[in-house]
């Protein structure tokens, strides 16, 4: 089997989608399942989520985000439209570049939020690093707010990604 540039890009797209499902699947798990379920869980059972489930989910969540961006940028470069989409297709007359560009920038902002806001704040909230007890609820609230922002952005982000394949 010949591994030409076309099929090479195909495998990079495959890894991009696999990483993306891992990332956004866990983002939606946190927002649609874990966070709404927490108030109904008895206090003595809460550590099962906070100490065992959440740290493991956050591991796959943040690395899923990193690899999604890495494979996504790689794919766009291989396909020769990285510059066009990162500049939102301004003046190209091709709406698909603009929509994919929006999707890519939303994805980049979301990955930034994961690595530089949500993960550091979750480490404090879950007690994975030393911090004042008073700081924990504040960190949890910030992490939750940015997680919600990412859920919001994931909707237009997916539209941009999918629209490129359907033009």
Partner 1 sequence: MSKITDSLRMTVIAGIVLTVVMVLVAPMIAGEPESLGDKAREQINELTRGE
Quick check: 72 and 107 in contact, CB under 8 A?
yes
From the number of C-beta atoms within 10 Å of its C-beta (0-12, 13-18, 19+), residue 97 rates as buried
Note whether 98 binds partner 1 by CB under 8 A.
Answer: yes
Note whether 140 binds partner 1 by CB under 8 A.
Answer: no
Cα distance between residue 113 and residue 73, in whole Å: 18
Size of the site for partner 1 (CB under 8 A): 26
For the CB of residue 16, give the shortest distance to partner 1 in the complex, in Å. Answer: 21
Cα distance between residue 135 and residue 102, in whole Å: 35
Residues 31-70 that bind partner 1 (CB under 8 A): 31-33, 36-37
Note whether 160 binds partner 1 by CB under 8 A.
Answer: yes
Q: Can you tell me which of 25, 47, 137, 156 binds partner 1, judged by CB under 8 A? A: 156
Q: Which residue, chain included where needed, has tokens 């690395």?
A: 63
Q: Can you tell me which of 68, 69, 154, 161 binds partner 1, judged by CB under 8 A? A: 154
């Amino acid at each position: 089997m010949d591994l030409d540039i076309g099929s090479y890009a195909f495998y990079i797209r495959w890894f991009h989608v696999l990483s993306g499902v891992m990332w956004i699947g866990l983002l939606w798990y946190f927002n649609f399942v874990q966070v709404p379920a927490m108030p109904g869980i008895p206090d003595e059972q809460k550590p099962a989520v906070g100490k065992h489930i959440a740290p493991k989910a956050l591991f796959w969540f943040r690395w899923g985000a990193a690899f999604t961006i890495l494979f996504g940028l790689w794919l766009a470069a291989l396909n020769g439209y990285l510059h066009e989409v990162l500049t939102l297709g301004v003046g190209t007359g091709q709406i698909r570049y603009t929509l994919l560009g929006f999707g890519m920038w939303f994805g980049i902002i979301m990955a930034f939020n994961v690595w530089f806001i949500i993960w550091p704040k979750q480490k404090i909230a879950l007690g994975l690093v030393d911090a004042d007890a008073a700081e924990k609820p504040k960190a949890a609230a910030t992490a939750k707010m940015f997680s919600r922002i990412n859920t919001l952005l994931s909707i237009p982000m997916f539209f941009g990604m999918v629209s490129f394949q359907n033009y």
